[in-house]
Amino acid sequence: MAEAILYGVTQTIIERLGSSTLQQIGSIWGVKAEFKKMTNTVSTIQAVLQDAEEQQVNNHQVRDWLMKLRDAVFDADDLLSEFSTHVLRQRVMGVDKMPKKRSPTASSKHCGGLAELNKLDLRGRLEINNLAWVKDATSETKAANLKEKKHLTDLVLRWNPRDDDEISLNGLQPHQSLKYLSVGGYGGVRFSHWLSTLTNLAKLSVYDCKKCQHFPPLYQLPYLRELYISDMLGLEYMSDRNITDEISASLASSSTTFFPSLESLYLSDCPNLKGWWKRDIVDNSDVGTASTCQQHISLPSFPRLSRLIISNCCKLTCMPLFPYLEKGLSLINASLKPLQQTMAMTMNTAETSSLPSSSSLPLSKLKLLVLFEMQNVTTLPAYLQHVTTLQYLRISKCPSFMTLPEWLGNLTSLQNLDIEECPNLTSLPEGMRHLSSLQSLRIINCPHLEQRYQKEIGEDWPKIAHVPKYTNSLWG
């Protein structure tokens, strides 16, 4: 589901555009209006993503548009991230003056053999497309000598899949100073081992690699902040190592923890992804497998993960725990078992000491929760009643969803509640009256609720009369 990935990235862009750093630069450079216009454009993109999602199944043009849009959004996100980092670095180094406005730097695209890259002093970003057209992958990739290009920060590799992709990827090993890597259309079964050596990598995006079954270990990459994995039909597990091996290696190292810097994780359209580790693949048909991973060894936790999106990965029932999420959790046509495992985690003394001092409960700082196309979910899981920091809740296209629990009223920080296309939901709880922070309520295509919550005349209208903005229109 490409639009799930895009929604998360566009939200990040909006947050960056609203940051104090970019607002200050916008004022100094006289481009504050342009930043505002860009924010509106990205917000418009978010608004049409849901409609695009529904159309792409039968419209290949829409799907192609989503793929192109993904590249453009990633580029914009990269640019803003790099720009903000550069400004902050100047401040840390004691440069008081803000950078002066510069004219846009000219750029050009070059077509030629890979060997020509060896002659160039490559800096910044490099994109190599149509790698499947390389005739002699072994010699040409070796001649490119990307391993010595230490000033290269961003590398984008795109294939049209064919059988010898593994040879070409192995030969395109970049310098370990690389900060961003994007790989698309790669046709190999295995990923090159050099991925684990990119110790400065901050963002990794891998998509449309239909045959790839697993990745080399990524848990020890010290600066990896964002990980995007999508459209991986053959992917069965994330790591080619056993859980015991990874945890033992992490504990044995005084300098390496499990994914020490990862803040955003996007897993989308990986229908055969069963687990994080090779040895701990669980049988999705067995209802008792929710704790299978924990019966033999405690699952590790992502120490800094703030945003998680799992979309169209229905078989994924075992993964590292994510108790520190803050920016958001989106489950889209996915299993609830990873969430169950996180909420059921045992907090021993060591784990509790690493949690925020305000609470020792998992997800104690979560602000956003989305449940989308969750086929077998009938109500909100009871353990969510303790997530009192939640500000945005969306329940959409859940055909089995029947009741909102009375404890919903405990979520006193809730500001936005969206309920869409839940045909079996018949009423809202009395606890709605206690949601004093609720500013917006949207109920779309829920036939049982339409009459009961008609403005001022519905029999249950008093439950929601205190909400400043209520709509039952898709565009309201």
For the segment 171-214, what is each residue's pLDDT rounded down to a tens digit?
888 999 999 999 988 888 888 889 999 999 999 999 888 888 88
Residue 385 lies in a domain: yes
Amino acid identity of residue 126, one-letter, is L
pLDDT reported for residue 451: 82
Specify the higher pLDDT residue, 374 or 70: 374
Last residue of a domain, one of 94, 129, 159: 94
pTM of the model: 0.74
Q: Is residue 195 part of a domain?
A: no
Q: Average pLDDT for residues 319-340, to the nearest whole number?
A: 93
Give the span between the Cα atoms of 201 and 301, in whole angstroms. Answer: 20
Would 429 be classed as within a structural domain? yes
Q: Is residue 247 part of a domain?
A: no
Asked which of 27, 61, 94 is the last residue of a domain, the reply is 94
Range with the poorest average pLDDT among 149-153, 334-338, 393-397? 149-153
Place 323 in a pLDDT band, splitting at 50, 70 and 90: very high
Type and span of the H or E element at 248: helix 243-252
| Residue 345 near residue 364, CB atoms below 8 Å | no
Task: Please give the average per-residue pLDDT across 119-143, as a whole number.
Answer: 78
**What's residue 147's pLDDT?**
86
- Residue 143 CA to residue 85 CA, distance in Å, equals 33
Q: What gap in Å lies between CA 470 and CA 453, rounded to an integer?
A: 10
For residue 107, being part of any structural domain is answered with no
pLDDT, greater one: 43 or 195: 195
> From CA 141, how far away is CA 34, in angstroms rounded?
41
Model confidence at 404: pLDDT above 70: yes
Q: Is the pLDDT of residue 324 over 90?
A: yes
Query: Where is the domain boundary, 63, 94, 125?
Result: 94
Q: Locate 458 and state its tokens.
A: 């519905």
Percent share of the chain, pLDDT over 70: 66
**268-279: per-residue pLDDT in tens?**
999 999 999 876
Residue, of 306 and 11, whose pLDDT is higher: 306
Q: Which domain holds residue 456?
A: 359-476
CATH number, residue 374? 3.80.10.10
Task: Say how many C-beta atoms besides its own lie within 10 A of residue 122's C-beta.
Answer: 21
46-86 per-position pLDDT tens digit:
656 655 655 554 555 666 666 666 666 666 766 666 565 55
User: Which of 210, 173, 190, 180 is closest to 71 using CA atoms?
Assistant: 180
pLDDT single digits (tens) 272-321: 999 998 765 433 333 333 334 544 457 889 999 999 999 999 999 989 99
